[in-house]
Amino acid sequence: MRKALVFGVFGVFAVLLAAVSPARAQAEVLLPYPALTIFFRTANLEPLSQSQFVLNLAAQSSTKEPQANVNLFDDFYLINGQWSGSPNNLIVHFNGSLQNLGQRVIPTWIGVAQFSNHAITYDLQAGLQQVKAKYGMPAARATSVVVYRTINTGQIVYDYRIPIAGGRCQEYLFIPDNGGFQLGMQGGCYISLAAAGRSRAGHR
């Protein structure tokens, strides 16, 4: 009887908590996967990458829908940094469970430096919010985000793709180390195995 009373009181408390905390309940619904920054930083990518390093690490929605919250991205790609001494690189498609969904060898990937995904520390959603504030587009949604390290400065860059006219996207670059911003190229919005290697960024 005492146990039933305790559980009954707890159940009522839980219902009341949900009723007075709709924002918390909504946040839990909006984050079905671990926050993207934590996932990128803590994931053991070496079995997928066949390397200790990556050159690109990217996220997008598997439904190909732009999102205001990058933590909803559930479709991932990497380009590896070293591959058994080969002059080529490997692009790998994977999901939130680190399952390999496909891969292929691509020509040598140039223009970016190797980095460890464990070096990603600044929150990716906060970076998107800063980009939206900087460029005056509060309602903007990102189709994808790519993380890489520059060769010339050695700084990690968050490259957000924001839709523009004609089914294309504008790249907005955010540099967590110094809070810098830069406009990138215009091009495709989503990543695929088939398109990788057709441009410097390889995202179409």
Question: For residue range 154-179, what is the model confidence (pLDDT) as tens digits?
Answer: 999 999 999 998 899 999 999 999 99
Does 105 fall in a domain? yes
**Distance between CA atoms of residues 171 and 95, nearest Å:** 23
Chain position carrying tokens 């996932």: 39
101 and 8 in one domain?
A: no
pLDDT at 97: 95
**Distance between CA atoms of residues 40 and 57, nearest Å:** 8
153 and 135 in one domain?
A: yes
* Angle made by CA atoms 137, 66, 122, in degrees to the nearest 5: 70
Q: What's this model's pTM, rounded to 2 decimal places?
A: 0.79
Q: Give the model confidence (pLDDT) of 76-116 as tens digits.
A: 999 998 755 667 899 999 999 999 999 999 988 888 999 99
The residue segments making up the domain with residue 139 are: 36-187
Question: What are the helix (H) ranges across the chain?
Answer: 2-20, 22-30, 36-42, 46-49, 124-134
Average pLDDT taken over every residue of the chain: 83
144 and 73 in one domain?
A: yes
The answer to whether the CB of 120 falls within 8 A of the CB of 37 is yes
Does 101 fall in a domain? yes
pLDDT at 120: 96
Give the H or E element holding residue 180.
Answer: strand 180-187
128 and 89 in one domain?
A: yes
Higher pLDDT, 122 or 201: 122
122 and 178 in one domain?
A: yes
pLDDT band at 204 (very low <50, low <70, confident <90, very high): very low
140 and 44 in one domain?
A: yes
pLDDT at 75: 97
User: Is the predicted pLDDT of residue 45 greater than 90, yes or no?
Assistant: yes
The number of distinct structural domains making up the chain is 2
Instruction: State residue 169 phi and psi, 5-degree precision.
Output: -130, 150
Does 144 fall in a domain? yes
Higher pLDDT, 9 or 157: 157
83 and 25 in one domain?
A: no
C-alpha torsion 35→37→38→41, nearest 10: 160
91 and 18 in one domain?
A: no
User: Is the predicted pLDDT of residue 6 greater than 50, yes or no?
Assistant: no
User: Is the predicted pLDDT of residue 29 greater than 60, yes or no?
Assistant: no
106 and 61 in one domain?
A: yes
Token output for 108:
């040598």
Share of the chain above pLDDT 70, in %: 76
Does 127 fall in a domain? yes
The answer to whether the CB of 90 falls within 8 A of the CB of 79 is yes
